[in-house]
Structure 1
Amino acid sequence: MDGLSELDARLVGCRACPRLVDWREEVARTRRAAFADQEYWGRPVPGFGPHDAALLIVGLAPAAHGANRTGRMFTGDRSGEVLYRALYDVGLASRPTAESADDGLALYGTRITSPVHCAPPANKPTPRERDTCRPWLEDELRLLAPGLRAVVVLGAFGWQAALPAFAAAGWTVPRPRPAFGHGARVTLAGGPAGRPLDLFGCFHVSQRNTFTGRLTPEMLRDVLRGAATAAGLHPDGPASQAPPGTGS
């Protein structure tokens, strides 16, 4: 078992935030009517993607009836439908849909994680919960550092949560801290492997953003394509062959 596998195995047993533990487990017990016959994951959700990923996507937190149900990031919910469709369109995913943890989906050179690993009530972690969960992201960044070249952060919450994690993991975050914005791009110097990191901002793939047109599929693909190019993955449309770093 490598370091990232060990980290993920420890993560799924975390019970550090009582409010989040109570909520994720209550949702798993009561279930949504549409999924009443399914066994919910109901635990912290680890990152998903190859352990030598060159590109990392950072979200917010698992959805109560999405990743908290399926046990895989952005799987089984509307936000995931938008994200994985775009990843497939730019050649970073093997299929355009993510329905369950055993659906055969693979990511190419790309890993997905979040700053908060448990589903929060109303999709809103507290600042304390965000800070309590941060060491998991810091360790994940250190383990990914040898191959990591670019990061896409989805939304202002993720951006604010991730910047201290990058600093703790060894990258130099400019001061004042760069502001979040869709299309923002910042280069972080240093890092555990001595390699700079290109950081990209993107509106979150929430229904509020995608249903209103604040984030369109074209906007999302543009950011992913730019980040993939910065990571050396050379995106070129739906994947007919796997770029470096293939797997789940």
Structure 2
Amino acid sequence: MKAVFVLAATIAMATAQYYGSRPFWRGPGGYFVAPSGGFRPIYGGGGGGFQPLHFGGFVVSQGGHSVGGFVGGLVDYSYRGSDYHFSWRHDGGQEYEWGPANHYCAKLGPGWYGVSIESYDEDKFIDSIIGGDKAKYIWTGGSFERYGWKWASGAPFQGLDWSYTGGAGIPQPDNREDGKEFCLAVLNNFYQDGITWHDVACHHLKPIICERRSRIYG
């Protein structure tokens, strides 16, 4: 048994590639990413559907399948019918203006857009990712147009988690920066107000969470 394990590990090491900034290996039973402490399965298939994709100087995988919420490839997590991609886990922590950030999402493939937070449950899920990864802030797919705020998904907009304060000390949205705060960001306790929504001028630089409907595209 020990000899078999050593042989399998040797084969896996020989095919090392990179998932984000971390190495992953194809071994018996699928693909494995190597966090501290050992191997972790990220792709349950034994071959076939994997296509390496060079994205922002990193190599990520396509075609992953869900393993208890964690998904391999472009999808970092699946939750209640949506797939999510956290840009900072794939591009070395780059930050973008709102427009290029949402273009980043669109380039991931069909159905991807900036996250549209459509329920309290989804809002709490996004908060848990931001808090868990210690992200300072993220862009969403939310933007203000002539008739009000809208989501990139096209779903009706509900102001579920606007902060009670901001740079001017008044509730959000306040449109304080030269009347041009047309983009929706989630900030992590930036004004000692928890993880909350803020209207922000679109030229500011932030990472983004991308979303797609897994029931359609997954």
- TM-score band by shorter chain is 0.3 to 0.5
Give 1 or 2 for the bigger CA radius of gyration: 2
TM-score scaled by length of structure 2: 0.33
Structure with greater strand percent: 2
Structure with greater helix percent: 1
